[in-house]
Amino acid sequence: MKKIFLVLIGIILIQKSFGTITHIGGHFDKPSTKTITIQYYASIINMIESRSTKQELPIDSRNNFRFEIETDIPLNFHLINGDNWLFINKYVAPGDSLWFEIQKGNVTEVTGRCEDCIGFMFEWENKFWSGKAVNEEFNSSARRLEPKEFIEYWNKRRTDQLNSFNKFFKGKALPSLFKEVMEDEINYSYAVAILQYSTKNVKSSNRLEDSVYLKFLEFIPVDNPNAITHGTYLHFLRELPANIYFAMTSDPRVENSDRNYIWLNQIHLRDSIAKKYFTGKSYELALYQILYEQIRTAELMKGQSYFESYYHTSDSIISQCASSFSDQTLYKRVSKKFHELKDTSKAAPDFVLKDIDGKQVRLSDFKGTVVYLDFWATNCAPCVAEIPDAKKLSERFKGKDVVFIYVSLDHSDEKLKQFLNKNSFNGIQLNAPQGFASDVANLYEINAIPHYFLIDKAGNIVNADAPRPSSNPDKIIEKLVQQ
């Protein structure tokens, strides 16, 4: 056991696994509220879209809590108790178990695998990121340095971080995955800082020569498929094409006529840069980020006179990129998100899941019927609290054109069956065993539960944040039945 005072920033990593249960628990001396919330990114796409997942649990009578999360990627997570963010940006590997002792609102003790890794991360965070001295240095002088001095500063900073890492673990057993993630964190943070130099608090006249600006390409692995589950590398996939492109736009050597071409062909140029440096999944995730930014820009233009022109141009560009995706689920996702910008009625995404008897159920089979769609889980206290009212609601609409579909995000079919045997309620019971990372959760953009949707007889979502059973949604449902 290793005592760690103040706020802990840690990376706990074990051997790679797929879809294993990760346990995150702890004990309070005195919690500020009787519930605790965990916030994290359930998938790579959620990281890219900055769409976090939240789960809430009650703290038991002994002031303990324990989350069970099924994941195949390392988690970047926060724990929140009331208004107190106990810590942010913790990393835990699939299948690991962590236990936190929390006194007076601060983490005072942590147990779990790779305790030396935790100790190092606490030391590393304080020395290179959160310490008062480094904050003053990093946020003031370092960001205003001239090009040559800026490169020298970051070269030294990267070298110091790597040396600190090697010194701490000299003669100690070091998990290979922890070493991989730690080196990625150091290298890609360095690369992103160099790439962003021209746009972060520096004079516009300051320009890094190409031979210096991209020097890191010689010693940092650029096309690194092993790192695509790491947030820093995903950020790098975005920043490399973006900042090389923006360097082109601000290069004084570029003629104005060429500059116009560069501005008009931003997506194609950034895509060509991504193709130059990345392959396979790395490239496709870089391209997804390029197109996703195009969608976010279009969202900001909605209601403006030039929206139609921008939409038409973007539609053509996104369509042209279809063949660049070997993983068509990525293309379909970005295309769907783009076309939703103009859809006045949103069709409910179709899905197929198994019910508790193993029979496949397809949502579109219920067209012609009003659907009350409930996303929940047996370990979600607010979800379970709605069950008595859910029973009453389904009884009130018995014999009418309404179907109640419950999609559980439990990871275990057996656990769900046991729960339903004790707490049976009418409706179609389905399970998405990959939880928040499942296809159906991504389709419906579920980042917290319980979450309810109302779907009309034509199969369109008419309310993406429908009232809970306890909030008496009867009038809304009845109106849809009568249509």
Per-residue confidence at 198, pLDDT binned at 50, 70, 90? low
Q: 205 pLDDT band (50/70/90 cuts)?
A: very low
Distances (CA, A) of 313 to 256, 266, 316, 394: 22, 12, 5, 47
Domains of the chain (ranges; CATH) run 2-124 (2.60.40), 148-339 (no CATH), 347-482 (3.40.30.10)
Predicted confidence (pLDDT) at residue 468 exceeds the cutoff of 90: yes
Length of the chain: 483
251-277: average pLDDT: 81
Report the side by side order of strands in the sheet with 84-92: 11-12, 84-92, 75-81, 35-40, 53-58
- CA 364 to chain centroid, in Å, comes to 28
Q: Tell me: the pLDDT tens digits for 352-403?
A: 999 988 999 999 999 999 999 999 998 888 899 999 999 999 999 999 999 9
pTM as predicted: 0.79
Question: Alpha-carbon distance 43 to 438, whole Å?
Answer: 9
Three-class secondary structure of residue 131 per DSSP = coil
Output the CA torsion sign for 347, 351, 354, 360. positive
Contact 191, 158 (CB under 8 A): no
Whether residue 206 is predicted with pLDDT greater than 70 in this model: the reply is no
Whether 13 and 114 have beta carbons less than 8 Å apart is answered as: yes
